[in-house]
């Protein structure tokens, strides 16, 4: 059978299996084993256990559960509320200051947790009721936090960047650095839109809802926030200063976050610590299982010459590299509508990266573009995980209202991708300056 036709059949079968409600990892294993059995025979299945466990035989994978524990320890405390409250006290007089406070809190919490749903939940529980109380429209209150939560997969330390690095065998340290400036760019665009929309509406109720704080009240909240910010700074220094590897840095960061949660937020009850470890273990096993299953899926594609045929076919297309990148972005955008970021990265990145690099694009720049596409998927249906998290926090706000409120931020993300295409240095300058040219 023609490999390109076979690739289309595999794509359709994979989508149907994943839509059946089967978990992503099990779905990938079912599709892989089914096609290997049909086209390569029973003996091809003998290699699956070796591939499955061999994919997990990577020291860098240790950083995933460690960063997840780091985020879970923070999410189990009032750190998100304190971040939100601190920024609110300092920005209360800025037009749209409460929205900007929430977006800033989302950015900082994302940097600490690396998780978009956790960021939405932590900041949304405080931010949404407060914005509604002060007269902000429901769409603005819910949409801004749904969008702000997406920053968790871009601003380092990011679990999805670690997964991308493992899937494509690229430097995790460089990937983290590549996401810093685009992450700040997205935060800036989000805040700029919030300022503009507030100025345009000139909502009297919002103006009347502003609260005044004394300087002592503003400084009073800082000691509860600074330890976590110090941990982030320490983790980034250890990682980029050559002090430790990503896995070692993640382990130290996780331990420090647990200590801060116990000492400052008094999280010493065994039941509370058990919840942190239980949830972290559950999420870590899920991600690692997907990574292992994606390894089998990639082996199946390579064994049936699917990967090679697609790369060769795209290489014969007489289109400019920017037209090619446009089609790749559209593919990633649609894939992000239906699949979680980790699944898309593990399935698509190993296939797309050789095509992208052959076209003359930087692999670390492409990682950032891919991640922003995945961010858009987090606030667009039918999956739109952040939309459902916000709907769970504020069930009286309709899902349609949350979606409409987040659409301007989707436009900001698209603008960020355009700016990255026009100025790739936004993603490549910092890694090159601190770590030298990529080999």
* DSSP for 351-399, written as a single string: HHHHHHHHTT--HHHHHHHHHHHHHHHHTSTTT-HHHHHHHHHSTTS-H
Average pLDDT value for the chain: 81
What does the buried/exposed string (b/e) look like for 82-117 if buried means 16 or more CB atoms within 10 Å of the residue's CB?
bbbbbbbbbbbebbbbbbbbbbbbbbbbbbbbbbbb
Q: Which residue has the tokens 């797309």?
A: 352
Closest CA to 342 of 152, 80, 127, 90: 152
User: Is pLDDT above 70 for 179?
Assistant: yes
Residue 389: predicted pLDDT: 81
Please work out, in degrees rounded to the nearest 5, the angle formed at the alpha carbon of residue 177 by the alpha carbons of 288 and 349: 45
Residue 396 CA: distances (Å) to CA of 56, 234, 392, 401, 407 = 43, 41, 9, 10, 20
Residue 387: predicted pLDDT: 84
What average pLDDT does the segment 259-281 reach?
A: 83
Given pLDDT bands bounded at 50, 70 and 90, which one contains residue 204? very low
Intra-chain end-to-end CA distance of the chain, in Å: 38
Q: What are phi and psi for residue 359, nearest 5 degrees?
A: -80, -5
User: Is pLDDT above 70 for 346?
Assistant: yes
What average pLDDT does the segment 148-158 reach?
A: 82
Higher pLDDT, 183 or 439: 183
User: Is pLDDT above 60 for 209?
Assistant: no
Instruction: Answer left, alpha or beta for residue 320, where phi above 0 means left and psi between -120 and 50 means alpha.
Output: beta
Residue 148: predicted pLDDT: 87
Residue 91: predicted pLDDT: 72
The pLDDT > 90 percentage for the chain reads 10
Residue 288 CA: distances (Å) to CA of 66, 308, 342 = 13, 26, 10
Break the chain into its structural domains and give their ranges: 25-435
DSSP H or E stretch at residue 422: helix 399-422
Dihedral through CA 174, CA 177, CA 182, CA 185, nearest 10? -170
Higher pLDDT, 424 or 215: 424
Query: Using the 8-state DSSP alphabet, how is residue 77 labeled?
Result: T
> Within 13 Å, how many C-alpha atoms sit on residue 393's CB side?
26
User: Is pLDDT above 90 for 210?
Assistant: no
User: Is pLDDT above 90 for 418?
Assistant: yes
Q: Where are the alpha helices (DSSP H) in 41-150?
A: 48-54, 63-75, 79-91, 97-113, 116-133, 138-149
Helix axes 341-358, 270-303, angle to 10 degrees: 40
Distance, in Å, from the CA atom of 214 to the CA atom of 17, rounded to the nearest integer, reads 58
Which range (22-36, 58-72, 249-263) has the least confidence? 58-72
Given pLDDT bands bounded at 50, 70 and 90, which one contains residue 411? very high
Given pLDDT bands bounded at 50, 70 and 90, which one contains residue 208? very low
Residue 76: predicted pLDDT: 75
Given pLDDT bands bounded at 50, 70 and 90, which one contains residue 182? very high
What average pLDDT does the segment 167-174 reach?
A: 86
What average pLDDT does the segment 323-334 reach?
A: 87
Residue 423: predicted pLDDT: 93
Residue 205: predicted pLDDT: 44
User: Model pTM?
Assistant: 0.79
Given pLDDT bands bounded at 50, 70 and 90, which one contains residue 207? very low
Higher pLDDT, 288 or 82: 288
Closest CA to 370 of 339, 391, 401, 400: 339
Sign of CA dihedral 227, 66, 291, 349: positive
Which range (139-143, 183-187, 412-416) has the least confidence? 139-143
Closest CA to 372 of 405, 436, 328, 322: 328
Q: Which residue has the tokens 């949350």?
A: 402
User: Is pLDDT above 70 for 133?
Assistant: yes
Residue 206: predicted pLDDT: 47
What average pLDDT does the segment 32-37 reach?
A: 88
Size (the chain), residues: 439
Give me 84's structure tokens.
């939100």
Distance, in Å, from the CA atom of 333 to the CA atom of 338, rounded to the nearest integer, reads 9
């Amino acid at each position: 059978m023609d490999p390109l036709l076979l690739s289309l059949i595999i794509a359709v079968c994979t989508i149907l299996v994943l839509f059946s409600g089967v978990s992503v990892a099990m779905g990938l294993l079912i599709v892989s084993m089914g096609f290997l059995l049909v086209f390569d025979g029973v003996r091809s299945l003998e290699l699956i256990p070796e591939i499955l466990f061999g994919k997990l035989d990577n020291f860098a994978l240790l950083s995933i559960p460690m960063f997840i524990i780091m985020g879970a320890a923070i999410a189990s405390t009032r750190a998100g509320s304190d971040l939100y409250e601190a920024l609110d006290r300092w920005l209360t007089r800025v037009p749209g200051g409460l929205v900007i406070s929430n977006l800033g809190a989302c950015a900082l919490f994302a940097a600490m947790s690396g998780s978009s749903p956790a960021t939405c939940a932590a900041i949304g529980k405080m931010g949404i009721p407060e914005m509604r109380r002060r007269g902000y429209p429901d769409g603005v209150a819910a949409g801004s936090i749904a969008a702000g939560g997406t920053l968790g997969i871009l601003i380092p330390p990011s679990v999805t960047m670690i997964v991308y690095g493992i899937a494509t065998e690229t430097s995790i340290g460089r990937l983290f650095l590549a996401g810093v400036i685009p992450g700040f760019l997205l935060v800036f665009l989000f805040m700029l839109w919030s300022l503009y929309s507030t100025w345009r509406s000139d909502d009297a109720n919002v103006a009347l809802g502003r609260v005044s704080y004394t300087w002592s009240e503003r400084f009073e909240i800082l000691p509860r926030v600074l330890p976590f910010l110090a941990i982030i700074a320490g983790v980034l220094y250890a990682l980029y200063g050559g002090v430790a590897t990503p896995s070692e840095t993640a382990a130290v960061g996780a331990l420090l976050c647990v200590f801060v949660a116990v000492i400052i937020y008094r999280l010493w009850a065994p039941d509370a610590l058990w919840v942190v470890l239980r949830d972290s273990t559950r999420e870590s096993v899920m991600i690692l299982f997907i990574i292992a299953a994606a390894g089998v899926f990639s082996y199946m594609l390579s064994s049936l010459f699917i990967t090679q045929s697609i790369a060769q076919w795209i290489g014969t297309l007489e289109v400019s590299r920017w037209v090619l990148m446009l089609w790749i972005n559209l593919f990633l955008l649609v894939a992000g509508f239906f699949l979680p970021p980790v699944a898309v990265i593990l399935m698509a990145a190993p296939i797309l990266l050789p095509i992208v690099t052959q076209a003359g694009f930087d692999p670390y720049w492409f990682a950032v573009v891919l991640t922003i596409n995945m961010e858009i998927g987090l606030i667009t249906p039918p999956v739109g995980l952040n939309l459902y998290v916000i709907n769970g926090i504020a069930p009286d706000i309709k899902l349609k209202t949350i979606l409409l409120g987040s659409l301007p931020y989707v436009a900001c993300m698209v603008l960020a991708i355009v700016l990255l295409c026009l100025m790739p240095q936004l993603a490549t300058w910092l890694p090159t300056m601190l770590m030298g040219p990529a080999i």
